[in-house]
Structure 1
Amino acid sequence: MNIVNRQNLWPPAGRKELLAWALYDFANSGYTTVVLTTIYSAYFVGVIAADIDARSAGTGTLLWALAVGLANFIVMISAPVIGAMADHRASKKVFLLVSSIGCVSATALLALAGPGDVWLAMSLVTLSATMFAAGENLIAAFLPELVPKENMGRMSGYGWSVGYFGGLLTLGCCLWIIYRGRQLGMADSDIIPITLLVTAGIFALTALPTFLCLRERALAQPKGEKISYIRVGFLRLRHTLQHALHFRDLFRFLLTLAVYQSGVSTVVVLAAIYAQEVMGFGRQELIVLIMVVNVTAAVGAFICGHLQDRIGSVPTLAMTLVLWIVAILAAFIATEQAQMWIAGNIIGVAMGASQAVGRALVSQFTPVDRSGEFLGLWGLVNRLSAIVGPISYGVVNYLTAGNHRQALLSTLMFFVLGLLLLARVNEKRGKTAALQAD
């Protein structure tokens, strides 16, 4: 017996439900912006791990990378199985709730980690990042149920656009708290915990509409008396891999995604370091740059989401990868901060566009009743890329005695190779395979 789709039982998703879906992107983006990208990462190295770093330079950064890397590894190996379990039980929403509570709780608990509490902070960062990534996969798995394939591009674009503004709002609130705290003479060890509580609170509050309005549109398949849901998940995943030939364009695109997303992940993690070390940006200038890039990324996601539905996902993604190539070259040749501002905003547009288009294209290649499993594979590829990309940059930077320009140039290869691999993806055939499997 296959999972029964509820689209004939429930009315089509209306604006309220679609907005509730997009608001989850708004809710969870504050976590990545504040915890992983800007405020807490610097606080971990500069305050929590300061003593260790003073004894052995670079250890704080290494420990941070290990904590985030472990989270990516956990999600990489577990995401497809969790997705398959959620499909079989028709419980994507339950899994999403658990992951959201986990991320919000771990983020709030980070406020308890003070100077010297390195292992506590690392454990909570790993837990929060794991739960965040799991939730990101699960919310994406709802997309094939909510809109027809011809509208997935713009819907994915809406979600990413709203998400970037969510990150901007949370970051703005936290920066105001930091500014006021310093005016009052408070130490960072007293201020930053407040920003973590605010980040967790905004996540929890703005995610509520998702759980109140988003519907589960599948009926669970009986698992049998002598088999666990975990084993069911592995069996479903094995079945999919055994029938990879039927989904050849999905797997070709996942390979393409793994390559170019390695470049995207590198830029997300290391662009601020490049701007600081090579272009001489100060902390305040970096934060302003990140905020502006969030806006241009939202614009890129919105525009390319619409363009994707008009001219096709593969042509739109090809244009996006060309834009990435231009952006990396612009950053490579930049010698003045004004030039880096131009490169940064091109990167913003390309980042928003590529993320929105990638998620929608995987959704278009996904049978509705296997959305959790297939979007779990999307999550696996994203996590793998988050490990491979930054490590490759670090290795090249090390081998070239700290030459960030050479390391950035090596990142260009991910986008060039991704563009070449994309030419092998047949969008029409991939969509047809998904429809035949429904």
Structure 2
Amino acid sequence: MPAASRREQLAWCFYDFANSGYTTVVLTAIFNAYFVGVVAVSVNITNPGTATLLWTLTMATANAIVLFSAPILGAIADYAAGKKRFLLVSTLGCVLFTALLSLVGPGDVKLAIFLVILATIMFSTGENLIAAFLPEITTPDNMGHLSGLGWTIGYLGGLVTLGCCLIYVQWSQTQGGNAADYVPMTNLIVAVIFALAATPTFLWLKERAIARQKQTIMGYFKVGYRRLYHTIVNAREHQDLFRFLITLTIYHAGINTVIVLAAVYAQEVMGFETNDTLMLILIVNVTAAIGAFTFGQLQDRIGSKNCLAMTLVIWIIAILLAYNATTTDLFWLAANLIGIALGASQSASRALVGQFSPPQRSGEFFGLWGLAVRLAAIIGPLSYGAVIFILDGNHRLAILSTLAFFILGLLLLMTVNEQRGRQSAKANALA
């Protein structure tokens, strides 16, 4: 199999640039706060935490669907050599449903939930599929560097997309517009940038897998199920992968909570306006890019596991600072520490799964990675939503619930043997 060129590796990285706008604008900075504060504000009449709970339930539903579909689709993509085709479908779907979010206004709760669920399913499926190319285009010794570079470019993509939205928001405000006027348009901005920036990926990234015997649609699903079943039954052969997937599920529950609810927390606890929140997320994207790049370089020297442990400690410190923040200065410090930890932990997580994956089964194994990430995306935000509902909207106390995820994740990470996991992947690649 010929080695991937530098251009092809950059094309792979550029998909991170393309899809980061969806995470940054829709899930983290603008649309989530718009949903809670404008679209679904009427449901807060009986309990001020109801709109937040509804948003977390929406995220949980989307991620539950991906949780069950990702490993099967990954196994099918491996068997049919169809990762790139599947990626194209998921990309077009996310672009379409994100653009349709521009139709959502105050009170359109059902429409918003429906479109966000569809867009998030497509986004998450694409995220799993693009990650599955990683073992094919680089070596295990360089995986941390390339994964870190991808996340770095991705955060820059989020920065560019959010910056474009901020320019539009500020212009709209000078024209007397309010959130209901300018937030819908930001979804169109996200969709257009996603479509344009993903183009190099489809032009230059190659499908290196070799297709097996053609099947009917039901036949492919049976093949996918059999391959996944075989992997789970023979989990002992990949014990460090499965240990890490359990660990990842735990600490990613905390990460997903922060991603989905950061803007809501800034708005409800710190009193941030839309412009304040956008500026916060812009700066955090810069620190996240720095964290991803710096720790990406460090991973190949000291190991992905050690880098990940360092980032989990940073997460714990940052959450404690956010809880104690009564001034914007302390909150900004906490937010930037979160940015560094976010970029570094996501880069290390993807690299570690790549190191534990035989290249010919990367779609399946990254489907399991996607399963773990999506399960975390259900557990974390939903538990936060339940806590905030019980506490009658007290976000400051609710944020402490995320600490448990990072502390337990750090303890479980100590049981993962990185070298043994890499040797297992190598042995199964030769088998």
Q: TM-score, normalising length from structure 1?
A: 0.93
**1:411 equivalent in structure 2:** 402
Q: Distance between the aligned counterparts of 1:225 and 1:15, measured in 2?
A: 37
Which digits, 9 at most, give the CA deviation of each residue in 1:251-270, with x for residues without a partner? 00001101111111122223
Q: Distance between the aligned counterparts of 1:146 and 1:210, measured in 2?
A: 13
Which digits, 9 at most, give the CA deviation of each residue in 1:168-223, with x for residues without a partner? 11111112112212323345444333322221110000000000000011101115
**2:320 equivalent in structure 1:** 329
**1:157 equivalent in structure 2:** 148
Question: How far off is 1:288 after superposition?
Answer: 1.4
**1:274 equivalent in structure 2:** 265
Q: Distance between the aligned counterparts of 2:113 and 2:265, measured in 1?
A: 24
The correspondence for 1:183, drawn from 174, 180, 189, is 174
Tell me if the contact between 2:266 and 2:272 (Cα under 8 Å) persists in the aligned partners.
Answer: yes
Q: Distance between the aligned counterparts of 2:40 and 2:328, measured in 1?
A: 31
2:407 aligned with 1:387: no
Distance change >3 Å, CA 138–CA 226, structure 1 → 2: closer
2:335 aligned with 1:344: yes
The correspondence for 1:231, drawn from 222, 241, 252, is 222
Distance change >3 Å, CA 396–CA 191, structure 1 → 2: closer
Higher mean C-alpha deviation, range 271-280 or range 246-255 = 271-280
Question: How far off is 1:327 after superposition?
Answer: 1.6
Question: How far off is 1:227 after superposition?
Answer: 6.1
Tell me if the contact between 1:332 and 1:408 (Cα under 8 Å) persists in the aligned partners.
Answer: yes
Q: Distance between the aligned counterparts of 1:191 and 1:401, measured in 2?
A: 30
Question: How far off is 1:104 after superposition?
Answer: 0.3
Q: Distance between the aligned counterparts of 2:65 and 2:336, measured in 1?
A: 32
After superposing on structure 2, the runs of 4+ consecutive aligned residues of structure 1 that deviate more than 6 Å are: none
The CA RMSD over aligned residues, in Å, is 2.0
Question: How far off is 1:273 after superposition?
Answer: 3.2
Aligned residues: 429
Question: How far off is 1:117 after superposition?
Answer: 3.1
**1:132 equivalent in structure 2:** 123
Give the aligned residue type for 1:337: T
2:198 aligned with 1:207: yes
The equivalences for 1:22-421 within 5 A come to: 22-53=13-44, 58-186=49-177, 188-223=179-214, 228-400=219-391, 402-421=393-412
Distance change >3 Å, CA 166–CA 225, structure 1 → 2: closer
Q: Distance between the aligned counterparts of 1:44 and 1:253, measured in 2?
A: 34
Tell me if the contact between 1:261 and 1:382 (Cα under 8 Å) persists in the aligned partners.
Answer: yes
**2:417 equivalent in structure 1:** 426
Which digits, 9 at most, give the CA deviation of each residue in 1:91-142, with x for residues without a partner? 1000000000000011112223334433222211110010000000000000
Which digits, 9 at most, give the CA deviation of each residue in 1:282-307, with x for residues without a partner? 43322211111111011000011111
Distance change >3 Å, CA 227–CA 272, structure 1 → 2: closer
Distance change >3 Å, CA 411–CA 51, structure 1 → 2: closer
Q: TM-score, normalising length from structure 2?
A: 0.94
Give the aligned residue type for 2:250: V
Q: Distance between the aligned counterparts of 1:312 and 1:58, measured in 2?
A: 42
Q: Distance between the aligned counterparts of 1:130 and 1:255, measured in 2?
A: 22
2:11 aligned with 1:20: yes
Question: How far off is 1:333 after superposition?
Answer: 3.0
Higher mean C-alpha deviation, range 40-49 or range 242-251 = 40-49
| Structure 2: 5+ residue stretches without partners | none
Distance change >3 Å, CA 310–CA 280, structure 1 → 2: same
Tell me if the contact between 1:45 and 1:53 (Cα under 8 Å) persists in the aligned partners.
Answer: no
Q: Distance between the aligned counterparts of 1:198 and 1:282, measured in 2?
A: 21
Tell me if the contact between 1:26 and 1:163 (Cα under 8 Å) persists in the aligned partners.
Answer: yes
Partner secondary structure for residue 236 of structure 2:
coil
Tell me if the contact between 2:32 and 2:261 (Cα under 8 Å) persists in the aligned partners.
Answer: no
Q: Distance between the aligned counterparts of 2:94 and 2:81, measured in 1?
A: 22
Tell me if the contact between 2:357 and 2:425 (Cα under 8 Å) persists in the aligned partners.
Answer: yes
Question: How far off is 1:53 after superposition?
Answer: 5.0
Partner secondary structure for residue 235 of structure 2:
coil
Partner secondary structure for residue 247 of structure 1:
helix
Q: Distance between the aligned counterparts of 2:33 and 2:388, measured in 1?
A: 20
| Structure 1: 5+ residue stretches without partners | 1-6
Question: How far off is 1:319 after superposition?
Answer: 1.2
Which digits, 9 at most, give the CA deviation of each residue in 1:17-39, with x for residues without a partner? 11100000000011111111222
Q: Distance between the aligned counterparts of 2:43 and 2:411, measured in 1?
A: 44
Q: Distance between the aligned counterparts of 2:377 and 2:344, measured in 1?
A: 18
Partner secondary structure for residue 21 of structure 1:
helix
